[in-house]
Structure 1
Amino acid sequence: MGNVVVSSCFQQNPKSWVKLIYWEGTTRILKGKHIAGEIMVEFPDKMVCHADFFYIGHRLPVLAMDDELMHGQTYFVLPINRFACKMLSASSLSALNSSPQKKSPVKFGKCPFEYMKGSNGKVLIKVMPEFITSLITRGKEIDSSNKSFLCSTPELQKHFEQLVGCKEQIWSPKLETISEYKIGFST
């Protein structure tokens, strides 16, 4: 499932490395101290996100340039243009699932979500890192007949169709003609 770049030091201690999973499906292992800005400078059209903090209805876990990558943790390097807003939703997960590369459909056996209680007592819906990994590393076009795992309500299906539906439909604004007229001033 993608290419892996592994250094010979990787086998020594699993807590001494950082794992990066790129949008195209490549996995990269880093040893030593690194900051998110190193990755963002190398790939200016991408953002670095911590894999364990994707919650539906919450801000994307985008790291700042000076945030240190923690050893033993996994991070996603995702294209900025895939996210219309900075909130994670079912439609943004669908956008992760579309790619110019056409491959076999993602089959994810277990539930892609985990329900948890937040510090304020409200229920949070965590998107499992394994599910996001399967979306970005498979790189296949989403099958619109098989979108029920993401779009479980009619409202979500409507938003899905609006955001990632038909690519042939070209949007253009409805603009009314503005006419100008000159006001004559007499002196």
Structure 2
Amino acid sequence: MKIIVGLSGGSCTIYGIGVLKVLKELGIETHLVVSTMGEYVAKHECGILLNELKDMATYFHDNKDLAAPIASGSFKTDGMIIVPCSMRTLGAVANGISDNLLTRAADVVIKERRKLIVVPRETPLSVIHLENMLKLAKIGVTIMPASPGFYHRPETIGDIVSIMVGRTLDQLDIEHNLFKRWGA
């Protein structure tokens, strides 16, 4: 598999880092693109620098590089996860604004009818946010708010991250054992 992972400037970068780590452990090829604010939030929230993020991915693409492979539909991938997804990035994707590699890669995934999962992090949500999410949902984009479940009785932040990462990977049919499933 080849998965594009986008980290934008929303809070909860810990979920994006979790996705990258699990995909690496599973031997899945990743193509990482990080927005300027995504880089800032990763450092601010998690103490993770851009070089450390790069090491978690198979390939790293600069957000300004609109000639990167992931900017073309002829470069086949199995999907894309934007985690976290800021409202700026969500709005750009919902309105076809491909002004950087992160939004262009999402646009390509949509036009090629591949799987796109966005993990928005904002609260409260405005009507504009909700309309942008609805617009994406109507064309088949999976909207996975950064809202973990607690039925598995998490005891650590890591447990909370695991359920969100696992549920996100479920959307791409990626097998994992990150949390105990309901009724299992």
TM range (shorter): under 0.3
Larger-gyration structure (1/2): 1
Query: TM-score with structure 2 length normalisation?
Result: 0.28
Considering fraction of residues, name the structure with more helix: 2
User: Could you tell me the TM-score, scaled by structure 1's length?
Assistant: 0.28
